[in-house]
Amino acid sequence: MTRRSSLALALSLVALGQPLAAQQPVDWAKLKEETTQVLADYIRVNTTNPPGNELDAAMFLKRICDREGIENQVLDTVAFRARHGANFYARLRGDGSKKAIALVHHMDVVPAAPAFWSVDPFAGTIKDGYLYGRGSIDMKDQGIAHLMAMIAIKRSGLPLTRDIVFIGNADEELNSSGGLEFVKSHADLLKDVEFLMTEGADNQVDASGKVAWYSVGVAEKRTFWQKLSVKGTPSHGSRPTKLNPVPKLVAALDRIAKWETPLHVTPGVDKYFRDISVTYAGDQRRWLSNVKVAVKNARAREWITSNVYWNSILRNSISLTALQGSNKTNVIPPEATAELDIRLLPDTDVPTFLAELKKVAGDTAVHFETLLQPKTPLESPIDTDLFRAIERAARERDPGVMVTTPMLTAATDRPTYRRLGIVTYGFDPFKVPPAESQRGMHGNDERISLENLGFGVRFLYDVLRYAQ
């Protein structure tokens, strides 16, 4: 076939909704083996944050991309000199007829306490069908799945309409400075990027590895921390006085604690409840299938909000956490303070919410200080080529399986990229049972099964293929 006619054939296949075919078949068993070895080597590059040392990780990724003939750059070594840090960027070029897809991971990991591990957390030990090590599920595993899927695409000669951009960021675990620096200094490298995938979604898997549903994280809550303080006049506790700031603060906090913020259903959350409703029966099934209506019904509302996760994704939430008055029983302090961990829904107007909160506190003696400003709202659209590609690849593996959109109540680097208008998803190609992620993520004996590594890299390859 001439180049021209093969291009014409490829285009007509795309028009028919047929995935593009690779010119060389992929040896999946070999790729699984290689993915395991590369991840073991990556875990051995100790990027415990602090300090991070992500320059070592970036150089590791660079050596692999150089060997594979994939263009790449180690970036921001000057900005991150103090932490021996860097960001990493690589790009596999397509024909440019569609916009690019970026695969983003953070190269740093949280500290590990070797005394609590059964193996050295940085040795990349393979044992009983698992690869152990800090970062093996958060999130060097995803980084290497991104890298090896990209490499497999290049080696197999799969025609690409969209470039694949690979990014490794520094410092996600402490200050998110890697993502922020990348977006600030290298927006030009992202200007043709339409879609981005990174952490922020967990597939629902039982202990036997059976999938209840796959997740695409389209939304996350916005962290908005407040410090409340009341000033008073210090004096001796033996003589009660109205100038004691503690009772004033306590009264305001009591009003805030009793405040039931309105329930509000955002698009991704609406879809999530509708999707999972089929796994329930009777009234519960009916309620979840239309949560907007259900939250107006007292019985339904009580049942739904008794689930702490569901409650959090349906409203702006406030947790009273830090509290400080006097440090001596007999001393009335000059000041009393409290801190609120507030998590806002993506579409909440921040000044309006703050004005409401002050009204609820109900005392002008209470001073509000913002400790953490909310990031850019993250609520990505669902009706996209990439979402459909994930659904297709998921259903090929598990016929009829749900692909749903739970909201993350915690925070990731996604809003930083969303700010540029990029459709940003949380997507994890692995099937990690909850017991594994609860023990291992930021905990001890973090590990991933070798079977999962083979599964994930092939899943991601297919997602990228179907998104062309």
Q: How far is the CB of 108 from Zn ion (least distance, A)?
A: 9
Q: Specify the residue, 199 or 339, whose C-beta has the smaller distance to Zn ion.
A: 199
Q: Specify the residue, 171 or 199, whose C-beta has the smaller distance to Zn ion.
A: 199
Q: Specify the residue, 139 or 313, whose C-beta has the smaller distance to Zn ion.
A: 139
Q: Specify the residue, 288 or 407, whose C-beta has the smaller distance to Zn ion.
A: 407
Q: Which two tokens stand for residue 93?
A: 């070029």
Q: Which two tokens stand for residue 228?
A: 């409340």
Residues contacting residue 318 through CB under 8 Å, at least 6 positions apart: 256, 257, 259, 261, 340, 341, 342, 357
Q: Specify the residue, 158 or 460, whose C-beta has the smaller distance to Zn ion.
A: 460
Q: Specify the residue, 70 or 104, whose C-beta has the smaller distance to Zn ion.
A: 104
- Rounded to whole angstroms, the Cα distance separating 123 from 409 reads 33
Q: Specify the residue, 266 or 437, whose C-beta has the smaller distance to Zn ion.
A: 437
What sections of 318-433 are H helices per DSSP? Answer: 350-361, 385-397, 414-418
Q: How far is the CB of 2 from Zn ion (least distance, A)?
A: 47
> How many Cβ atoms from other residues are within 10 Å of residue 380's Cβ?
25
- Rounded to whole angstroms, the Cα distance separating 277 from 291 reads 10
Q: Specify the residue, 266 or 452, whose C-beta has the smaller distance to Zn ion.
A: 452
Q: Which helix (H) or strand (E) holds 35?
A: helix 28-44
Q: Name residue 168's amino acid.
A: G
Q: Specify the residue, 139 or 422, whose C-beta has the smaller distance to Zn ion.
A: 139
State the sign of the Cα–Cα–Cα–Cα dihedral 387, 392, 393, 398: positive
Q: Specify the residue, 138 or 202, whose C-beta has the smaller distance to Zn ion.
A: 138
Residue 132 in contact with residue 448, Cβ under 8 Å? no
- Rounded to whole angstroms, the Cα distance separating 220 from 346 reads 7
- Rounded to whole angstroms, the Cα distance separating 186 from 180 reads 10
Q: Which two tokens stand for residue 105?
A: 């991971």
Q: How far is the CB of 347 from Zn ion (least distance, A)?
A: 25
Residues that bind Zn ion (CB under 5 A): 138-139, 199
The closest alpha carbon to 201, from 173, 181, 175, 220, belongs to 220
- Rounded to whole angstroms, the Cα distance separating 381 from 454 reads 29
Q: How far is the CB of 141 from Zn ion (least distance, A)?
A: 10
Task: Kindly list the distances between the CA atom of residue 284 and the CA atoms of 196, 278, 294, 405, 406, in Å, as whole numbers in the listed order.
Answer: 35, 10, 9, 19, 18
Q: How far is the CB of 139 from Zn ion (least distance, A)?
A: 4
Q: How far is the CB of 109 from Zn ion (least distance, A)?
A: 8
Q: How far is the CB of 412 from Zn ion (least distance, A)?
A: 7
List strand residue ranges (DSSP E) for 345-458, in order: 367-372, 378-379, 402-404, 423-426, 447-449
Q: How far is the CB of 214 from Zn ion (least distance, A)?
A: 19
Q: Specify the residue, 10 or 110, whose C-beta has the smaller distance to Zn ion.
A: 110
Q: How far is the CB of 24 from Zn ion (least distance, A)?
A: 33
What is the distance of C-alpha 231 from the center of its chain?
39
The closest alpha carbon to 374, from 311, 419, 315, belongs to 419
Q: Which two tokens stand for residue 214?
A: 């796959």
Q: Is 445 left (phi over 0), alpha (psi -120 to 50) or beta?
A: left
Question: Among all residues, whose Cβ is closest to Zn ion?
Answer: 138
Q: How far is the CB of 172 from Zn ion (least distance, A)?
A: 6
Q: How far is the CB of 327 from Zn ion (least distance, A)?
A: 36
